[in-house]
Amino acid sequence: MINQQTEQNYQGILNRYGQLLQLPAHSQRVTLLEGNTPLIPLPRFVDELGGGFEFLIKYEGLNPTGSFKDRGMTAAISETLGAGSKAVICASTGNTAASAAAYAARAGLKAYVLIPQGKVATGKLAGAVAYGARVIQIEGSFDDALTLVVRLSQNHPIALVNSINPYRLEGQKTAAFEICDALKKAPDWLCLPVGNAGNITSYWMGFKQYNDLFGSGLPKILGVQAAGAAPLVAGHPIDFPETIATAIRIGKPARGEQALQAAEESHGKIIAVSDQEILSAQKRLAQEGIWVEPASAAGLAGFIRQVNAGHIDPKGKRIVTICTGHGLKDPDTISKNMPQPDLIPSDLHILEKTILGE
């Protein structure tokens, strides 16, 4: 297995794992030192469920643009820069847009991003704008936007960097490698949200590759969709997906077949959880100091649902749950329901009364 590098010489996922990734020789490395994210235990959560198992959050929100997308983007942008592209395009529910914008800026490429009107969280849109992308809203869903960018990239020299692009998956495999390296083997369960289904596909590819090379074992995979946007659970596309977890508000996942295959081959499952379960898992994570955007809490929500239903017995097991994006990406879900903070005069006596009571 690959040894953990020290923080001082860490140079990103392509430097650490490049020899295990199918990237063309013409690739020219573009990195923001993505990856190397922590596995954070949730000890109080484990106690609440009766103890006797290990539960770790892989906090992908700590990547340079605040989501796991940076792993795939360093690979895709490196390839397309080396191939001579001058511009890239993607459809996005927000995180791909921000990541594509950042890595394109880093590479000196123009980025175009298509987003569904009014359905992208503030932190993501602001990121895409800050990194200098040309942002276009469409009167339609993510799925409509994806159809458009696929067609456009076929007719013009603008490289597609959605996860249809195989190099995105290559980069995203590295999260599975990191987990195996940190734990010395694969966990028993891997829980994660599923939207366009690139990430679940990448994890399964990564775990299989590491197992073939190093005998690290294979996890069961629990993929979790939002109930209003759960085509892989329903067994058919959803024309008008709806969920508070806008990142995974996707009705026709591009990698849907591969996601179903990953769940089946791993003896895992793809399930759906309600928005209420997602918000409650988001709160539970925050109670242990980890603030994630709603979609990122879906993995935990799914795990809780499976344990409560008696479908997963965690005893003696090691579970890793992927938190895909940072809470700062979507401050509105919190602030909309937030009570106004108390406002008091700048006075010690009143402060004491406010905090300690009468």
Residues in contact with ligand AN7 by CB under 6 A are 67, 92-96, 163, 193-200, 247-248, 293, 295-296, 324-325
Shortest Å distance, C-beta 172 to ligand AN7: 8
**Which CB, 67 or 282, lies closer to ligand AN7?**
67
Shortest reach from residue 193's CB to ligand AN7, in Å: 4
d(CA 275, CA 192): 15
Instruction: Considering the complex, state which of residue 64 and residue 185 has its C-beta at the smaller distance from ligand AN7.
Output: 64
Q: Which is nearer to ligand AN7, 92 or 282 (CB)?
A: 92
What count of other Cβ atoms lies within 10 Å of the Cβ of residue 295?
A: 33
Instruction: Report the residue number, 185 or 290, with the smaller CB distance to ligand AN7.
Output: 290
* Least gap, CB of 149 to ligand AN7 (angstroms): 11
Q: Where on the phi/psi map is residue 291: left (φ > 0), alpha (ψ -120 to 50), or beta?
A: beta
Q: What letter represents residue 75's amino acid?
A: A
Compute the least distance from the CB of residue 115 to ligand AN7, in Å: 8
Cβ density class 187-207: b for 16+ within 10 Å, e for less: bbbbbbbbbbbbbbbbbbbbb
Please give the full DSSP string across 55-107, using - where no structure is assigned: EEEEEGGGSTTSBTHHHHHHHHHHHHHHTT-SEEEEE-SSHHHHHHHHHHHHH
Query: CA–CA separation, 90 vs 287, rounded Å?
Result: 35
Rounded to a whole number of angstroms, the minimum distance from the CB of residue 91 to ligand AN7 is 7
Non-local (6+) Cβ contacts of 107 within 8 A are: 28, 30, 77, 78, 81
Smallest gap from residue 46 Cβ to ligand AN7 (A): 23
Q: In what order do the strands lie in the sheet with 318-323?
A: 39-41, 54-59, 318-323, 189-193, 220-226, 269-273
Closest CB to ligand AN7 among residues 53, 298 = 298
- Give whichever of 78 and 141 is closer to ligand AN7, judged by the CB atom: 141
Query: Dihedral angle at the C-alpha atoms of 269, 274, 279, 284, nearest 10 degrees?
Result: -50
- Cβ at position 30, least distance to ligand AN7 in Å: 19
Nearer Cβ to ligand AN7, position 179 or 197? 197
